[in-house]
């Protein structure tokens, strides 16, 4: 640290590197923040053990009627695919899964393909819509508390059909689907039930006004459960709901005994495209890394080339020492340094004689009597032929003066 810079060079380097890393992290977070939030956020609803999750339903399905697992994408499995979107799930992601499964079922239907056991593969999909907003209770493990209900407008967008949102009284809700005799009644919660109505929605469990708690989208094998309080962990504590949930799956896909699996891809879907992702993903990642490396190397080169600004020097430096340095430099340039010894000897002889001999004529021998050694130093000064010899004699003369107190 010096007067021109309040920080040491190492501190400046650390601050610059730290600032560059923070800037890079900020840029990456702005581009990949949504994906990081999906990957590191709360667990998918199918894995959560709180009251609003479906862990109990998942374990029940796997224990009673597990699907035939394989190495393919779960969305390509012929078993019932149970989607558990959240409030933040994009409707386009749900629609993409539903359309893919409908297309796969249509392709098999056109080719008259059948399962190994005989019945055709239908690729049914069950969408369980969210209902509650929850937050974790501090220092209580995985327990949560409800903070409110999910906005009905957002829920409508998650349904792959035009739908109007309803809240029905439990006394008005019951089984209404004659084509699905395997359905059983759920133990309905005390609060009102979410329901939906639309021209393309056929109620299986519905209300008197035609709204569907469990509905089928058109003639497809896509089903929507509008109220998760019938199958979530809190509901599974009631044996009636557990039996009704299994019956619901068997009614949806009776040919395969209601085999089902839970999808988790909605929780870990990729985010929207943006410029940052374009720069930091192949094929442009190599170009971005090359530009960063070039910027780092340019910074290193600039740090080594440039420093504090230099002040313009005076043509003739100020001060006694500078004046003497200038005289010496000019004497050297003129080649007069060999003549310095005799001139210095004459000057010092006259000066010391006035001080020590009380007005007597200048004489090296008389000064010798005051303090021995002066005549020898005087002779060396007068005989000096180089700058080094004159300088050595001048140093000895300075020591002699200190000894005599002159």
pLDDT at 41: 56
Give 180-194 pLDDT, tens digit per residue.
Answer: 888 999 998 877 889
> In the beta sheet, which residues pair with residue 134?
146
- Same structural domain, 114 and 257: yes
Percentage of residues in the chain having pLDDT higher than 70: 86
DSSP for 46-60 reads: TT--STTS-HHHHHH
- Same structural domain, 172 and 87: yes
pTM as predicted: 0.60
In a domain, 339, yes or no: yes
Which position has the higher pLDDT, 406 or 57? 57
The boundaries of the domain holding residue 188 are: 43-268
- Same structural domain, 55 and 180: yes
pLDDT, averaged across the chain = 83
Encode 152-168: b = buried (16+ Cβ within 10 Å), e = exposed.
bebbbebbbbebebbeb
- Same structural domain, 228 and 341: no
Give 232-250 pLDDT, tens digit per residue.
Answer: 998 999 999 999 999 999 9
Mean pLDDT of 356-376: 86
Tokens at 343, concatenated? 């001139």
Pairs from 24-30 (Cβ < 8 Å, separation ≥ 24): 27/276, 28/276, 28/280, 30/276
Count of domains observed in the chain: 2
Q: Among 244, 268, 292, which residue terminates a domain?
A: 268
- Same structural domain, 80 and 216: yes
Which position has the higher pLDDT, 289 or 269? 289
Q: Among 238, 268, 298, which residue terminates a domain?
A: 268
**Residues shown for the chain:** 406
Cα-based angle 374, 375, 376 (whole degrees, multiple of 5): 90
Q: Among 268, 302, 325, which residue terminates a domain?
A: 268
């Amino acid at each position: 640290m010096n007067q021109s810079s309040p920080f040491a060079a190492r501190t400046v380097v650390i601050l610059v590197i730290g600032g560059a890393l923070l800037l890079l992290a900020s840029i990456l977070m702005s581009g990949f923040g949504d994906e990081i939030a999906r990957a590191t956020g709360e667990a998918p609803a199918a894995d959560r053990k709180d009251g609003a999750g479906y862990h109990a339903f998942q374990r029940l399905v796997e224990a009673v009627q597990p699907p035939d697992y394989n190495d393919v994408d779960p969305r390509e499995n012929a078993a019932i695919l149970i989607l558990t979107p959240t409030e933040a799930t994009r409707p386009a992601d749900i629609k993409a899964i539903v359309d893919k499964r409908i297309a796969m079922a249509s392709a098999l239907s056109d080719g008259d393909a059948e399962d190994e056991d005989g019945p055709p593969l239908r690729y049914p999909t069950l969408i369980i819509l969210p209902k509650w907003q929850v937050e974790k209770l501090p220092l209580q493990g995985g327990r949560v508390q409800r903070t409110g209900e999910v906005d009905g407008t957002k829920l409508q967008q998650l349904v792959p059909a035009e739908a109007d949102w309803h809240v029905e009284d439990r006394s008005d809700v019951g089984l209404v689907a004659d084509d699905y005799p395997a359905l059983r009644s759920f133990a309905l919660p005390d609060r009102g039930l979410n329901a939906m109505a639309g021209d393309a929605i056929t109620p299986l469990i519905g209300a008197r006004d035609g709204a569907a708690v469990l509905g089928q989208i058109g003639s497809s094998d896509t089903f929507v459960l509008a109220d998760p309080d019938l199958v979530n962990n809190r509901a599974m504590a009631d044996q009636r709901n557990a039996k009704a949930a299994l019956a619901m799956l068997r009614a949806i896909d009776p040919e395969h005994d209601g085999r089902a699996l839970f999808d988790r891809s909605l929780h870990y879907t990729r985010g929207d495209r943006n410029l940052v992702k374009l720069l930091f993903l192949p094929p442009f990642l190599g170009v971005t890394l090359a530009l960063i490396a070039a910027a780092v190397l340019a910074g290193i080169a600039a740090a080594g080339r440039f420093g504090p600004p230099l002040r313009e020097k005076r043509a003739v430096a100020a001060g006694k020492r500078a004046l003497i340095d200038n005289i010496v430099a000019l004497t050297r340039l003129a080649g007069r340094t060999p003549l310095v010894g005799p001139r210095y000897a004459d000057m010092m002889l006259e000066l010391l004689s006035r001080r020590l001999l009380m007005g007597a004529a200048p004489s090296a021998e008389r000064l010798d009597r005051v303090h021995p050694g002066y005549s020898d130093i005087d002779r060396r000064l007068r005989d000096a032929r180089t700058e080094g010899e004159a300088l050595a004699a001048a140093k000895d003369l300075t020591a002699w003066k200190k000894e005599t107190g002159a």
